[in-house]
Amino acid sequence: MALTFLHTNRRYINKRQLKNKLAQWFITLGGISVLFTLVLIFLYLLYVIKPIFASAQIEPIQSVETELSAKVLSIGIDELKELAYYILHSAHLRY
């Protein structure tokens, strides 16, 4: 009877050791994947903020001439870059 108990206990120990090794492997893999993900996030953030450190460049694309006799307060262009406008001192908006 003692031999049967010892044999069953050894089988249980072997299964437990296998489960422990698998758990250790998966936990290690999970930790490495978390570190890898953090490195990727850091690299993405560097990629996003890189243009902040580059020098700005402005190039004229198109010029528009107008003949105005009144004082202009502001000149602008719409969001779609289709219409130019100016605001006169007399509070009139012209396209």
Query: Token pair for residue 51?
Result: 């243009």
Count CA within 13 A, CB hemisphere, residue 82.
1
Per-residue pLDDT tens listing for the chain (95 residues): 455 555 667 788 888 899 999 999 999 999 999 999 999 999 999 999 998 998 888 888 877 777 777 788 888 888 888 888 888 888 888 87
Give the per-residue pLDDT at 31.
97
Alpha carbon distance 19, 41 (integer Å):
33
Alpha carbon distance 47, 81 (integer Å):
28
